[in-house]
Amino acid sequence: QVRLVESGGGLVQPGGSLRLSCAASGSTFSNYAMGWFRQAPGKAREFVGVIAWSDTVAFYANSAKGRFTISRDNAKKTAYLQMNTLKPEDTAVYYCAAANAYPVQNASGYHTWGQGTQVTVSS
């Protein structure tokens, strides 16, 4: 079983950029697809994107296409979410999660979750 810890959240102005990290430990990181989700106050958890076992293949929600990029470094056991041209509606707690299949958009398909990191987009 893998353990996940997110970091890199914070306050950023609209139009700015932020990179989140998801550090893994405890198991073979490269065996899992790594997904990113977000949840804003009063809203359901929302799928952002997922990257496969290889760094070359990823799938994104429509809201993330063109602005967000998921990558991974299996040697460092870390997944990343690069967020550009951020908007106030991107404000949420962001979570990374591990799955055994790809691509999965439903949160129920992920067996391990990080604690989340807060991203606030405001001027």
- Confidence band (pLDDT; 50, 70, 90) for 27? confident
| Structure confidence by residue, pLDDT tens digits, 36-89 | 999 999 999 999 999 998 878 999 999 999 999 999 999 999 999 999 999 999
Written as six digits, the tokens of 17 are: 């950029």
Given a contact cutoff of 8 angstroms between Cβ atoms, the answer to whether 12 and 86 are in contact is yes
* C-alpha torsion sign, points 87, 34, 22, 110: positive
- The Cβ of residue 114 has, within 10 Å, a number of other Cβ atoms equal to 22
Structure tokens at 8: 């890199």
